[in-house]
Structure 1
Amino acid sequence: MNVIGCVPDGWWRDRAGALRGLVDAAAAHDFGDWVVIVADGFPVADLAAGTRGEVELRYAGRRDPDAADDVIVELVSEVRADDDERLRVVTSDRGLRARLTALDVEVVGPRSFRAELGW
């Protein structure tokens, strides 16, 4: 909820709708790269995990506070093991930022990412 929650636009009244908005905005944007959105918890109604263009939505599969963070670090570690690609992760979470910095990952704040999306 980092990217969604950085703007107080009422997202908490419709978390599924807010996630859908993020996925739609990301899918409409031409990144030129693969994008993975990792959401906390389990799939929400009408928004299954999967790929939309160059955007993949994954769910953490658990609800504890670091669930999505752990999935992100695991994913980054897998990619790093296979390739030395430039990786960029969007988060405002200090703990996750520290974990990613140790893995030599570029970390971007959610407001700048939302501005990039125009969302």
Structure 2
Amino acid sequence: MVTGGHQVIVVDAANVVGSRPDGWWRDRPGAARRLLRQLTALQERLEDTEIVVILEGAARSATSGPDAPDTAALRIVLAPGSGDDTIVTTTAAITNGHVTVVTADRGLRERLEPTGATITGPRWLLDQLEQS
């Protein structure tokens, strides 16, 4: 669990969803909705932590429609193009706290190094979600 001081967790939603072979590829918006619900539950139990979720491609539609979860507790960023580009610019723009980015993408990890963010893989986040 994240503790001490203001924390920001930036979630590469596509990478986290893709880390579990649960059939997500058949319904990308549905898989993103499930992740958003889990992240909302996690957000409710974390103090002094903000969760920022980057959604790209078909997963962007997870925040609209009758099945859309209540994501008011999260900060959702809809990538207009490349999710990786959006993750880098969003992370670089955060100046008010310690940033942890959740991704297993090696190329993205390299691009994030100059931001000073801590980078961790999806397993860390999935463990947090399982505790929720």
TM-score range, shorter chain: 0.7 to 0.9
Kindly report the root-mean-square deviation, in angstroms, between the aligned alpha carbons of the 2 structures.
Answer: 2.0
Q: What corresponds to 1:102 in structure 2?
A: 114
**SS of 1:52 mapped into structure 2:** coil
Higher relative contact order (CA 8 A, sep 6+): 2
Native 8 Å contact 1:6 1:110 kept in 2: yes
**Alignment length (residue pairs):** 110
Deviations 1:65-100 (A, max 9, x none): xx11111111111113xx3x2100000111111111
Distance 1:110 1:94 in 2: 13
TM-score normalised to the size of structure 1?
0.82
TM-score normalised to the size of structure 2?
0.75
Structure with the bigger percentage of helix: 2
In the TM superposition, 1:21-100 aligns within 5 A as: 21-29=34-42, 30-32=45-47, 33-41=49-57, 43-44=60-61, 47-48=63-64, 52-62=71-81, 67-80=82-95, 83=96, 85-100=97-112
**Structure 1 runs not aligned, ≥5 long:** none
Q: Percent identity?
A: 35
Q: Which amino acid aligns with 2:36?
A: V
User: Deviating runs (4+, > 3 A) in structure 1?
Assistant: none
